[in-house]
Structures are given as C-alpha cells and as structure tokens.
Amino acid sequence: MSQDVGRVLDALRSRRPLVHNITNYVVMNSTANALLAVGASPAMVHAAEEVEEFVAISDALVVNIGTLSRPWIEAMHLAVAKADGAGKPWVLDPVGAGATRLRTETAHNLIRHRPAVIRGNGSEIMALVGSSGTTKGVDSTTGSDAALDAARGLALSTGSCVVVTGAVDHVTDGERVVSCANGDERMTRVTGLGCTLSALTAACLAVEEDRILAALAACTILGVAGELVCGQSEGPGSLQVSILDSLARIDRTMLIGRAKLT
C-alpha cells in the first residue's frame, strides 16, 4: 500500500493538477503554499459569477466551510453542482459542523452533490451523522477512533469516501477501512493543517481514481512531512513553515520508508 501512495505522489508531481479552492480566510495562504510546495497548482476562486467557469478548467475542487457567509454558500453550491455534473472530484471539509446550525446544514446540503471525499475531525463527522457529540468550536473533542463507526455510516449513507482524522487517520467507503498512523501530536498546535489535508486530498484525487488510495496518500504525505520536521522545530510557528519545506522535499522513498498504514 505504501508503494501505491508513493506512486500517487509521483503522479501529482508530474501532472501538477490545478486545484480550485473555496476555503476559509484563515488558511488561504498556508493552503496555497502547501499545494505549491507539494507540486500542485492552487487557485482560490469564490465569486458566484466565476466559480462554474473555474471548475471547468480545474482538475479538482475543495470546498471548506470554515468561514461561511450567504454569498459563499451560494457559490459553493454552484461549484459543487458543476463539479458533480462534470465528473470532477471534489472534497468537502465540514469545518465546525456541529458547532452551529448553519455549518451543519450547509454541510448536509453540499453533500447532496456527491463529494468524492468528506474529510473532518471526530466531532465534525459525528455531527454529520446526527450524533449528539460535543464540539469545541472548530477543534475536536472526539478522537478519530471513537468516530470510526460514524465515518462508516456517513460513507454508506452518502456514497462518499470519508476520512476522519486524529491521532490515527481512518479512510473508509463504508466497507473497507484503511488507516494511517503518521503525524505528530504537535501538528495540532498549527492552525489549519486539517484544511491543508483536505486540499492535498483534492490534489491526489486529481491524479488517482481510487478515492481510498488518493485520500490515504494525502494523509500519508502530510503525516510524514510533519514527522520529518516536528523534532527539530522550535515551536508551532517554525513547524508551520517547516512543513511547507518538508512537503516540497518529501519523495517516494521517504514515504515508503516511513508510512504507517494498516
């Protein structure tokens, strides 16, 4: 499986997919830099007047509901309907689902347009299956293991591949479950690495049709990139910077050597 993950990274580097991001203000810079670093071509485009046209020229789309507003929700719907109709893969990142009704409802409405992958933390995935779990704003209070049943249920009811991230990241289509134990607890102190993972997942989907493999590749790439630099980083500021360096430097051999997949 780690060989396949290495192959996805190589494909990403050789094809440099154009990834269309409708994402939150907090992470736009770090997400664009992460996509550039790993070898993709990012664009942030959200006006209702242009999102459909941009979906048409993009290789994949990520929709992240981290900072919502009515005009953006409208544009998100136009974009995902277009992606669904055109057979372009798209990723939903339901940031803060469960924290407010607007977020939970927006996520549910977007899901009707069949995301290839839904990627969230434990609290978010629990909220999407209607579990009365708890949330602390956009941070999770539920581990990924505890949310695995919810992830399976969400995958079965939606037809999407679901990724629930935490100490171990689980990827499931409702039947198979594959898991990635790469990463480091210190990465939770950097804002938006979950959002980065969703964007990397879109980049991998642009070059790999097997959605489980694409999602697993993204988890492994970011997890290994983080592990390679966590030890020598002075703190979360340095770590945010070093992960970008690491995403640019990481290669198939490093992935294969360090992947912790089951």
- Give contact residues for a copy of itself (rule: CB under 8 A): 18, 20, 24-30, 32-33, 36-37, 41-47, 49-50, 53-54, 57-58, 66-71, 96, 99-103, 136-139, 189-192, 233-238, 240-249
Burial class (CB in 10 A: 0-12, 13-18, 19+), 231: exposed
- Among residues 161 and 207, whose Cβ is nearest to a copy of itself? 207
- Among residues 57 and 167, whose Cβ is nearest to a copy of itself? 57
Are 73 and 46 contacting, i.e. CB atoms less than 8 angstroms apart? no
- Among residues 37 and 151, whose Cβ is nearest to a copy of itself? 37
How far apart are CB 135 and a copy of itself at their closest, in Å?
8
How far apart are CB 175 and a copy of itself at their closest, in Å?
34
As a three-state string, the secondary structure of 87-109 is CCCEEEECCCECCEHHHHHHHHH
Distances (CA, A) of 167 to 25, 26, 62, 91: 26, 23, 23, 21
How far apart are CB 127 and a copy of itself at their closest, in Å?
13
> Which residues is 22 bridged to in the sheet?
63
> Which residues is 119 bridged to in the sheet?
163
- Among residues 175 and 232, whose Cβ is nearest to a copy of itself? 232
Taken in order 96, 196, 233, 221, the sign of the CA dihedral is: positive
- Among residues 12 and 216, whose Cβ is nearest to a copy of itself? 12
How far apart are CB 165 and a copy of itself at their closest, in Å?
17
How far apart are CB 174 and a copy of itself at their closest, in Å?
30
Residue 21 neighbours by CB under 8 Å, 6+ apart: 28, 31, 32, 35, 42, 43, 44, 45, 61, 62, 64, 199, 202
- Among residues 161 and 239, whose Cβ is nearest to a copy of itself? 239
How far apart are CB 177 and a copy of itself at their closest, in Å?
29
- Among residues 130 and 137, whose Cβ is nearest to a copy of itself? 137
Give 158-226 as a DSSP string. Answer: H--EEEEESSSEEEESSS-EEEE--S-GGGGGSTTHHHHHHHHHHHHHTT-S-HHHHHHHHHHHHHHHH
Residue 119, helix vs strand vs coil? strand
How far apart are CB 65 and a copy of itself at their closest, in Å?
10
Are 208 and 217 contacting, i.e. CB atoms less than 8 angstroms apart? yes
> Which residues is 136 bridged to in the sheet?
139
